[in-house]
Structure formats: C-alpha cells, structure tokens
Structure 1
C-alpha cells in the first residue's frame, strides 16, 4: 500500500488519475437475488411475443443459436437438479422508456430462457441426452404428470438489477459473454467425476515414452489433452465396434462402465499401453506425428494408430517385439484421407481407419 507522505508528484498525479477514471466508470446500481419457479416465469416470458412480455430480450442480445443438443443437455441438467448459472435481468425505469416501465430486460441468460420456453410449450424434442436415455426423442408432454409438475416448480435463480442504464446493461452483457475459456470435455470429466479408472488415465498420462511420442504444449496439457488421448486409446481399442456417432457419449459411457475397475484390469490396460508405445517407437519413423517437423498429433490420427497397433498385436502377439516393420503407408495420402476425411466420426469411418492400421501391420508378418 502506498504511503501518501512518500509519493512523488508524478505518483500522486497517477493515483489521482486512476481514482478519477474508476469513479467515472463505476456503475451505480443495486440488485436483488430472486428465485422463481419455471411455471411462474412462463407467465412472464413469451418468446413468441417479445414486445409484450414482462421479461423480454433486447436487441443487443444474440439470436437464439443453441442447437437442439445444447438445449436438451440444459433441460437434462434442470431435470436431474444440477445447478445452473444465474440469469441476469434489469428492471427498466419509466425515465428511460415509459412503455417499458417495470419490465425486466434480459442481460444474460436468453438462450436458457428461450430453451425453457420451447420445452414447456412442447416445441423441443430432447436429443443426445447423456443421463436420461429414457427421455430421448421425448417432449415435455411425454413426462409423467407428476414429473411435469415438479419440473414446473423448479426454481430458476435470477439477479435483478435496478438503477442501471442501457450503457451499463450492454457493458455487463459484453463482460459476461467474453473473456472466458470453455472447459474441455476432459476437464469437465475430471471436475465432475472421481473414479479409479480416471485415476488410471491420469497415471498413464505421465508415461515418459507417451510424452515423447505425443508432443503436447504446456497449454494443452493444462487442459488435459494428454488424458483425453489416453482415454480415447483405452475406449477405442477395447470397444470401437460399438461406436455409434457421438464421441463424447461414447467416451463417457466407457468411463461409467469401468468406474469400479479391478486391479487386474488396470494392469492389463497398463500393459497394452506400454506394449503399443514400444511398438510405435520401434516401427513408426515419426511416432504418431505426420512428419519430422510436426509439432502436434491430430486426435483421429492418434486413435487410428494406437488402437490399430494394439489390436494387431493382440491378433498376433509375436509381433510385439519386432522392429523396423514397413510402416511407410502411414505417410500415404490414402491413410491421410482416412483420418481427415469428412465424416471421420461416423461409425463406418471409425471402424475403417482402425482396421486399416491393424491389417497393414499384420500384412507385414509372414
């Protein structure tokens, strides 16, 4: 803390300037924290009649851009009781717009409000759910009546701002919607789940040979991209034939199935992982990379090589210690097309690229 008696004139001038700028830009407003049941909110918000709704969406808000999947996962969160962020609204005073006196302008949360509205009026069919599979392709009216009632009693938390002008509302909207970094799927898993299986994944990510063959920046490691790759190796190499179309759900289901993994299965996964890495080091000129100068490894390429290698070894265990097998095909346009083409995450493509690697390796063994 500065001692004002020891400040130079220049320092005093700087502190004065700082204070003036802060006071000039400070927004003088009050707020209340409120909770409203969804049923009550639906009497105040009508997405089809925004002009006359008591709760309305201003023109500076973005259009309704959430996909049906995003909307469905949000509704799923409400149904299972996960906490959701506050919705910010501002009480509009007659001094600003007499026709809006007493209305509530949505500052942040328009996508959530519009999703709730769509679901409650039966416009939204739930898709790609992660937990409530029984509600896949179902609408609100398909819920049991008792669950409809409970959903409509679900409370939504709101921060109601008062005495805040339009400039302040726009500034708040901008700050609430910029500057954040979205969590990766692996960060979300580690943040919401804890299991011996995920602990195993984290342990395997510290393998020195893996870190040598799969160069990742410090930023990517901070976002747990290394653990994501290992999870994909374990999932695809053990279950690729059951892949459907959604990578995220496919990986999450495998985690759930293995959350109580036995010590015996842990050791099996460790052995497969090390065996695969040793084979790649001994036989692939650039490891998982596309070229000597490549500084990263695309996920799909890694999945295909790592899974195909261990499947080939399981099909013919005697090749695990072989060296200098011809793997020049991994640099071919044919292979590159298989790991970069459109639809790379369709079921046929996943199966094709993994088995391509497996069969190319087995073909080298006489």
Structure 2
C-alpha cells in the first residue's frame, strides 16, 4: 500500500468499534488487466474517478521514477482496487498515487510540490488535468526520470528519460498491464456497509486510509462537502485544541457523527462505524435547504459554547472526548432540530462539570460504550441535566 509522510494525527478519545462482520456480505471481485494506454484513456474520459477528499498527490520525483522503471523492466507493481459505482464508472479506492504517477509521466509533466493542493482542486472540477494547465511551468516541471546510481557499472539507462524519449521502450510501456481488482456487492442493499468495511480492511497495511477518508469517497455528497467548510470554523478548532485541520479527517468525522446522533439516533444498533456509514449514505439525499439549515445549527451551537475549549471536553485523558461532545451537542440541539428551528441551548463549563461528575453518565462512557443502552443513556442523561 502507498506510504507517505503525514503530519501528526488529531487524537480523539473514542470507543473501540467492531465495525462490520464481513461474512454477512456477498461480494464479487473481478480482476481486469488494463494496459497503460487504456488506463490513461479511462482517466481522461472519467471512467476512472479519483474521488474528492482523497489525499493530494504526495510522491516525490525519485519515488515516481522507480514506479515507471518497474514497469519498463517488467517488474510487477501493486494492483489497483476500484469500486464500481455505476456502469462504466469506477472510484479509485486504493492506487491513486500509482495511477497519477503513470498519468503524469505519459503527459511528460510532474506537479510542483507547492502547487499540488491547487492542482487537486482543478482535478476535482474537471476529472483530469486540462492540457493548458499541464503546460503551465508554474504548476508543473518536466517529468524526466530521476534514477540516480550505477547499475552494473553504468549509469541507469533510463535516467533522464521522459515518455517521448524512451524509444522502443515507449511501446513496451504503453502495452504493459496493471492488475485492477473491481469490487462490488451482489445486492445493492448491502452496498453501504460492505464497501466501507472491505476498503477499511484493504487499506489496513502501512499508512491506511482513515474511516472518514473512506466515507468521503464512498458516500461523497454535498453534505459531506459542507462538513469540510464547517470544520474550518475557528470556534470548532478551539474546542478541538488543534488549529490545523486533521489530514485524516477525524475532525470532520466528529461533526458527521454528532449530526447522525441528533437526527438519526433511532437507527443506531450496535456499531458506531456502521451507524455513521448509514447516516452518510442517507445524507446523499440532503438538498441545499437542509444542508444550509444544519450549517446554521452548527454555527449557533458553536456560539453557545463560546466560552469553552478542549479542556472542557476531556474526561479521563488529555484527548478530546467524542462521547462527551456528542452528548452535549445532542442536549443543546435536539429540541431545535425536532422543531426545525436553529436556536440551540447555552452550554457552560458548570454544566459540563456537572455532566462529567454524574455517576450515570460515567457508567455510560466506560466499558461497553457502543451498546445501544450506553449510547442512548448518555444522550438522555445530558439532555436531562441541561433541562431538556
């Protein structure tokens, strides 16, 4: 699996979750060997889609060059995993860095490190990089292979080469194949849970994708996109105790989770991940009016917590407690959402201390905290103590 250097991840205190039992699902996995020219065609025609919110392209020129060298000399490279989201439409779940390396090499251009966030936005909008953008020297440099070192007493024969100067090897590269594994559930009823867990486990080696990163790919929607904006709010960053947004999207997951609890709690059964996934899938149907309403509720809730910071949302460690935060959000916002208004209840440090000291609430935040009784118990207790 692809490795990269990432900044320190946001640490959130949350329960252990069992996820999904895979033996309940019937999946089909179909291998396809596509050659390089076909892959480039699929990217440009949007048959292959690299979903928004996946990481930026992060490989450096040396690592990218080694991948191309492997293809040139006939070494196998790791397979690509795809999710068939529709007819002739495949979401790239694992293999983004490899696919983009090949795409950039064939185009003869390598993205400048400081411009990659900007290029990601262009790619999201267009589904590919337009030729006029690719030609911009402020955004790209020439993709000449950087293969330093001596091979059998001589300089590596591919060092300094680009796609157009490979001579006979160009055709060999064009026709070299990469194994693509297409995974999909047999029944559409199983799609929401099965696809999340299969790719959660697929990415379990090395630096794996976080749960919310996977959701952003599988359940991409206007609502999830709105969460990214809500996540930037300085009031929320203060509560989290982390100014920078989390590269693994744990902060975005926290916002998604609290809205799931306050609007969808009757559908909770036994696993947090499964519950959040179902809500994320449900949220694909949200229209602009509902999304804007939830944004207003979120903003008003943050106003109601204006005197608080991360120290107020800790229980037994120095980490932000999602169980405490979601209980407080539920207590403050439940009545407003039930009545379709955006007026939330004031949250004070005194209330938080009272809640954290309550013996019943303590019981619901220790031990088997994902049990239905524990989840509903802590939500109800917070609402009761706030006067709801």
Normalization by structure 2: what TM-score?
Answer: 0.45
Q: Higher relative contact order by CA 8 Å / sep ≥ 6: 1 or 2?
A: 2
Larger helix proportion of the pair: 1
The answer to which structure has the higher strand fraction is 2
Larger Rg: 1
